[in-house]
Structure 1
């Protein structure tokens, strides 16, 4: 038997998949600054390390999930987690609980934040802003994985450029250098914050795993293990650079935005206003809206992909209409939860869901998932890999059905 040649994954194809995770993380992760302030800034220098570790844990988890999903030809995240947990398939329901709660909170925070930004920048009525953002998110989620990949790719590029520009200017304009801030913090805290930094890294990666269903749905274009790895390393670089720069900037301006009433809700906006650069504030507003909308789109899409296939929707022939019904339901419900406020949602809701995410997603995929993927790929090719001349369809290494493969 001739050796199978592994097709190379084009950079743009891998980038488009990596950008989905980046866009999903952008809204609450570093655009508002709320999550960065809650989980990292208070830890000082250890918070910077924690942010890097969190992004590594997240992208490695997504990588194993995509490899398992694509290699076996799975068609839903329910099948993915049944494969991961097999022979204890029913544990899959723990992820369902985690996912439903996190979708509600993530979408509520994204839409509420975007509507507040429209109100603050353009004077738009808050409730009108909610409707406008909701309709836009709805339109982007009802037309399938292709539109989500495309939207995330271009929004991801715009977000990355504007975010890095804002953070770089913010760091430069601060009264003291980031090195002196970190050095002073180390002299005060030493290694005392390391345990908390480790916990926060896992917790942060845990609740960010709400985007896993979207990632596996949009990541089916990766035809081999190398492609999945390439996409997630690109995503790691994008996410880490943006998140770390946001932490650096907030550390430099911490004394300023914490002294302003409500300044910690969207601390990046408070910093932009404090710098007094109008153009920068406008650019930040555009970046913030793109981030929040992309977070809402990528989060809802995974929910839609799961529920539009239920039997209750079987009489509806149009896929966009089925998607629209499910999307509209989750958007309306999320807005009810948003009344709790962005800070409370992130501190308490995200935090507790993060603990559950550690137990049912991060640790299982980085242990059992790694083992099962390595074992399976020793004897099987990716289910969605294209046939090559070197190895025809009648190859000796056959691809087994999903049910038979779950034990691997």
Structure 2
């Protein structure tokens, strides 16, 4: 029976699920390098292995989450949380949802900050007016162009990743001497324990974002496929994380203070065409991220206040306006501050409320379900 199941593995589904996770993770926030310098290269040579710690945690949680959702037919993050935390779901599921929505808010805020900084760096405009311009553009796209942009998001993600790989390859070739110096002289900041914990924190806040991939479980047919999809995701995400981190180390320590680290590295190459292509792709990815995050939040909150404001369009407009104003306020702190402070704070909470419940409670319930179903 086991042999038959293995021959029936749908490798295409496994790869598509892993690719969807890869696209969710390696988006605009990742591509700027801000997350990399905040959680990995800020610790110097320790960054050689920190991405591995992060991605292993992410892959373990992804496997448990997808398999749990497959067994229990929970294909949205709230249904998953309710089932995972049952019989204490009334206490812990709302906490999980608050963390998820907070991450989405941080995502929109980082878009405002990052895209605003990008415009400011490229055209020399002041930061605040640049952020306002981005905010207005996001509002217009959310009203009139969201479907087109979201439909193109998969293609944009692929092109962005290709551009990042090219950028990393050229940067590493041109500045490999600094990488060798950092590693050979073992230049580090902070303690080993602090560095490892930073790697865990990165994995933690990314595990909250994994809640957006629960719908992918509906495509998975067997536990073997869940495992393979998780391994594919680990390899794809891990490779990209390591490549980007090693490139950033080629510019350590100066790059750790840049709001847009990858753009700073690209500008040093003096290849205008590459800088233009990278900037355009990151900007489009920023827009896609903003619309996706706003859509995810509105989907959860647009039902509130139905009695006082029956018109769904009016409610969406109201909640969209409030959300964008909140995100605009947060964006004033800058991209690195949002990543370092905001994502780190959520990462701390993600350990007890996402990672540990998933790995302990989730695995226990998966085993029990398997025994009951005879899988």
Q: TM-score, normalised by structure 2?
A: 0.84
Structure 2 segments unaligned to the other structure (5+ residues)? none
Q: Secondary structure at the match of 1:336?
A: helix
1:371-382 equivalences under 5 Å are 371-380=364-373
The separation in 1 between residues aligned to 2:160 and 2:51, in whole angstroms, is 19
1:191-202 equivalences under 5 Å are 193-202=191-200
1:283, CA displacement in angstroms?
2.4
| Greater alpha carbon shift after TM alignment, 353-362 vs 268-277 | 268-277
The separation in 1 between residues aligned to 2:21 and 2:318, in whole angstroms, is 25
Contact 2:32-2:261 within 8 A present in 1 as well:
yes
Who is 2:117 aligned against?
Answer: 116
1:132-151 equivalences under 5 Å are 132-136=137-141, 151=152
The structure-2 alpha-carbon separation of the partners of 1:345 and 1:77, relative to structure 1 and needing over 3 Å to count, comes to same
1:239 pairs with one of 230, 237, 240: 237
Contact 2:33-2:262 within 8 A present in 1 as well:
yes
The structure-2 alpha-carbon separation of the partners of 1:97 and 1:219, relative to structure 1 and needing over 3 Å to count, comes to same
The separation in 2 between residues aligned to 1:19 and 1:137, in whole angstroms, is 25
1:329, CA displacement in angstroms?
5.0
Who is 1:84 aligned against?
Answer: 84
Q: Does 1:268 align with 2:253?
A: no
Q: Secondary structure at the match of 1:100?
A: helix
Contact 2:259-2:336 within 8 A present in 1 as well:
yes
Who is 2:332 aligned against?
Answer: 339
Who is 2:287 aligned against?
Answer: 293
The separation in 2 between residues aligned to 1:295 and 1:267, in whole angstroms, is 19
Q: Does 1:360 align with 2:353?
A: yes
1:99, CA displacement in angstroms?
2.1
1:309, CA displacement in angstroms?
5.6
Cα shift readout 1:334-377 (whole Å, capped 9, x = no counterpart): 22321222121111111111000111111211122112112212
Who is 1:390 aligned against?
Answer: none
Who is 1:227 aligned against?
Answer: 225
Who is 1:97 aligned against?
Answer: 98
The separation in 2 between residues aligned to 1:347 and 1:78, in whole angstroms, is 27
1:29, CA displacement in angstroms?
4.9
The structure-2 alpha-carbon separation of the partners of 1:161 and 1:98, relative to structure 1 and needing over 3 Å to count, comes to same
Who is 1:54 aligned against?
Answer: 54
1:66, CA displacement in angstroms?
1.9
Contact 1:24-1:298 within 8 A present in 2 as well:
no
- Pick the structure with more helix per residue: 2
Calculate the aligned-residue CA RMSD, in Å. Answer: 3.5
Who is 1:402 aligned against?
Answer: none
The separation in 1 between residues aligned to 2:297 and 2:43, in whole angstroms, is 34
Who is 1:130 aligned against?
Answer: 135
Contact 1:15-1:153 within 8 A present in 2 as well:
no
Cα shift readout 1:247-276 (whole Å, capped 9, x = no counterpart): 111111124436xxxx51111111111221
Contact 1:32-1:269 within 8 A present in 2 as well:
yes
The structure-2 alpha-carbon separation of the partners of 1:57 and 1:135, relative to structure 1 and needing over 3 Å to count, comes to farther
The structure-2 alpha-carbon separation of the partners of 1:76 and 1:31, relative to structure 1 and needing over 3 Å to count, comes to closer
1:37, CA displacement in angstroms?
0.8
Structure 1 segments unaligned to the other structure (5+ residues)? 382-396, 398-408
| Greater alpha carbon shift after TM alignment, 33-42 vs 231-240 | 231-240
Q: TM-score, normalised by structure 1?
A: 0.77
The separation in 2 between residues aligned to 1:28 and 1:193, in whole angstroms, is 30
